[in-house]
Structure 1
């Protein structure tokens, strides 16, 4: 009975709807007046009319059954100079916070407290400050890490921030993952021997890289070039990587009976009397010589160097900043990790784009900015970033990086792949037939003509600078 009644009511409603006058239906005509107002008086054709070349009639607009986007600004509601009160208010939305509130976190995260109205749905947390990572302190320096334990979304890569005093050594070790490194400050002497007995030694300076393939043993030592020693970023192509579970020389030796060590090396057992009973990890020792050579190997040196002077590679200049790409086409040994070194000037942005098949692990070196991640299905969220923060963008998720500060924003985009690849929204639209773009977005011919067929990569402020306002 319930089903029959429901069908009868639905039939009455449908019949009544068909009898309504046209004025009672949702608006169906093409909103030429709205488009003209939004495009400065021009509609989607150069003559000011919207006609179909096939029929001579007005085609339906994409906006006929949906509202148009708002052109109101959605800047962060406060900047780094604002001292509060930090309330969850954006325009007429939200309310004051009358309970406990951490002002230090609030000041750095305006887009979490009062998100842009363009945010929607649910997106996993994709920000991790290295300042929140537990630090491992040693006599020769320290190390802190980010992996899936603290940032579950970051499944494909993990990172370690490490500091060594002058002469200090990250002991001889190896990993079951590749290790990619960027030197933040100072110089680091790296050594290695590959599976063929070919060895390698190099001093890697600020802005330069090293890379060791999985299973290849190596060491890291701070030189005396900088009185502070060295600090660097390590990236591993496995989100579950932990610096606490690497294969270390002293740890292994401590777990092998002394008589077995003696037999293996064909030495008297007393030769091993000074082997540490536990791992050294990071420990102090003498500063290495600047011109220290590697022992001569009967098999020669590695065919491709494990270091790369990225600091000497000229950056490509764009309207809003610079970019350098480094992958296996230039740093040949780096077959599992590719990267972009990007700078963005105040008010500028790394353009709207996505990476087709690989997740992006981003480390912010200088400045402050924000990223909106578009995850599809009406899911988008905005986070604010400062120097020392990690961002993680899943493959194919659309995003941008906007400089919201007053100084240059500098960051690294890092990928678990041999080749860098991205898709530019601007270039995609510029190389798509204009009628299709017009039908989707209501662009005028003038707007279509300004789309860029060459990727803008880092774009300047243009007509709209990001004048962040304090709440």
Structure 2
């Protein structure tokens, strides 16, 4: 029996040796390679893959001189290539063709682009969405974390479903906002104890100074709005929230402060409600119009401005309307223009002498070239939902490259909205000086205008 057991174990051991030895051949290759692969060797072999047989087509205008810089529509081009005029070459990949098609001026920039400016573009679709409670809404933001050069302003795109609240709160930064769609009720109390309440709809604007507590509730249609803050470092995560104040003060102190028993605070919610569902606002706004001995915020410094009711100035290539402290006094240093550019039109080459420009694209698609002295120039392609940023006195234009109206918002930190027009400057300067400088013909000089066009076609 003992020998039988030994024989049995011998068979098992033999099988284990075979099993362990079986993969040895497959494990013998060193995944790190070896010194024999370094440098020249007559035994080296190379791939014979031909990268010169790529199948592609040109977009209209792509073979023109690169300095003409026509917009290249790659939307229907199967395999767009980084070529413009005599510049560039083919790209066999790997790459993401979707980026190439929506950013043609990155793939095949105009020959007039040079060097590297700041990154003046951020698609909010790449911002992480912060989700509210119980399907009440969401928000997403742009600040220096994603646009390091955008130091003067930051933006938050926020959606509230019907009845949804942006919790009672305040900020260290000033808050300027425009309603993108839907409607909401806004409420606040200033440092004199004066109260404010109003309903605002698509196209209307509100402003709350730093430290002024306020709340926002969507009405029956729900609402989406764009918030702009006067600090590029702003983050919505650093907002002062009512639920956090109550959660982080002793209940005994709250009791003394509010003149109610400690038991009143047994049902406080978890802190940081942020966005949450609530009781629908009553139709009659007067039911929520609470007024103390200080009265209401005077109309002259009201926190809302019904921008939607202001007519736009109709121009050759579109329209423009402006809201700034001259018409909306409480919004100190916030000046904005809502610009519409028709297909093929152009928001003329200009710059803002006193402020950076924070831009939000609301509808359509367009492109802009940012010029930074002495010779840096970058062309960016923008779509609805993108943020643009153009530093003070850096020239730029916005061209409509789509088939529908392009609508965008220009926001400045300035006590009134202003810009300098390239065309007006050249047209208002002595023709001899311009001719000596730019070598333009007399015929060209005779066509220049002394008037600012703003939007041209």
> Is 1:264 equivalent to 2:257 in the alignment?
yes
Q: Which residue of 1 aligns with 2:230?
A: 237
Once the two structures are superposed, the pairs formed by residues 357-396 of structure 1 within 5 Å of their partners are: 357-396=354-393
Q: Distance in 1 between matches of 2:436 and 2:283?
A: 64
Contact 2:365 2:406 in 1 (8 A): yes
Q: Which residue of 2 aligns with 1:32?
A: none
Q: Distance in 2 between matches of 1:378 and 1:263?
A: 64
Once the two structures are superposed, the pairs formed by residues 175-214 of structure 1 within 5 Å of their partners are: 175-214=171-210
Q: Pick from 121, 124, 129: which aligns with 1:130? A: 124
Q: Which residue of 1 aligns with 2:247?
A: 254
1:199-253: CA deviation from partner (whole Å, max 9, x where unpaired): 00000100110001111110011001x2xx1101000000000001011110111
Q: Which residue of 2 aligns with 1:104?
A: 98
Q: Which residue of 1 aligns with 2:81?
A: 87
Q: Distance in 2 between matches of 1:436 and 1:374?
A: 23
Q: Distance in 2 between matches of 1:459 and 1:272?
A: 61
1:349-400: CA deviation from partner (whole Å, max 9, x where unpaired): 0001100020000000000000000001110000000000000000000110
> Is 1:114 equivalent to 2:111 in the alignment?
no
Q: Distance in 2 between matches of 1:373 and 1:156?
A: 17
- With a CA cutoff of 8 Å and minimum separation of 6, indicate the structure with the bigger relative contact order: 1
Contact 1:164 1:230 in 2 (8 A): yes
Once the two structures are superposed, the pairs formed by residues 50-449 of structure 1 within 5 Å of their partners are: 73-79=68-74, 81-139=75-133, 140-224=136-220, 226=221, 229-293=222-286, 294-303=289-298, 304-449=301-446
Q: Distance in 2 between matches of 1:108 and 1:267?
A: 59
Q: Secondary structure of 1:390's match?
A: strand
Offset of 1:73 from its aligned partner? Answer: 2.8
Offset of 1:412 from its aligned partner? Answer: 0.1
Q: Distance in 2 between matches of 1:246 and 1:278?
A: 12
1:163-198: CA deviation from partner (whole Å, max 9, x where unpaired): 000000001100011100010110010000000000
Offset of 1:116 from its aligned partner? Answer: 0.4
CA root-mean-square deviation: 1.2
Contact 1:161 1:231 in 2 (8 A): yes
Offset of 1:72 from its aligned partner? Answer: 5.5
Q: Distance in 2 between matches of 1:72 and 1:268?
A: 75
TM-score between both structures, scaled by the size of structure 1: 0.80
Offset of 1:107 from its aligned partner? Answer: 1.1
Offset of 1:102 from its aligned partner? Answer: 1.0
Once the two structures are superposed, the pairs formed by residues 8-23 of structure 1 within 5 Å of their partners are: none
Offset of 1:437 from its aligned partner? Answer: 0.8
Offset of 1:83 from its aligned partner? Answer: 4.2
Contact 2:67 2:112 in 1 (8 A): no
